[in-house]
Amino acid sequence: MKKADKRDVILQSALKLLAEQGFHGAPMAQIAESAGVGTGTIYRYFENRDVLILAVHQMIYGEMMDFLLDGFSRDQPLRECFFTSATALLIFLSKTL
């Protein structure tokens, strides 16, 4: 498995466990087991648990912003910008839940 792939697998596993069990219910050992890597491997990619959680947040935020900005135009009237953004956010959330 490539280095980037391992990182992504770890992030996806962390996201899944955090969503299912909450912040305190997802220890590094469990994230490692879910990702199919050793606990020490996680620390090659993420300095500590807080850095891993921040990376998960940044991943979700990036995906959400990419989705929200796809097809968005600042040339629209303010009202249309609001409705376009709100609709896109609802669609994004319904797909991720």
pLDDT in tens, 83-94: 988 999 999 989
Q: Are 42 and 28 in contact (CB under 8 A)?
A: yes
Per the model's pLDDT, the better-predicted residue between 55 and 71 turns out to be 55
What is the spatial distance between Cα 1 and Cα 5, in angstroms, rounded to a whole number? 6
Q: Which residues of 58-72 are buried (b: 16+ CB within 10 A; e: fewer)?
A: ebeeeeeeebbeeee
- Identify the CATH assignment for 3-96 out of 1.10.357.10, 3.40.50.850, 3.20.20.210, 3.40.120.10: 1.10.357.10
What is the spatial distance between Cα 44 and Cα 31, in angstroms, rounded to a whole number? 14
> Phi and psi at residue 72, in whole multiples of 5°?
-80, 140
State the pLDDT confidence band at 2, using cuts at 50, 70 and 90.
Answer: confident
pLDDT in tens, 18-70: 999 998 889 999 999 999 999 999 999 999 999 999 999 999 999 999 998 88
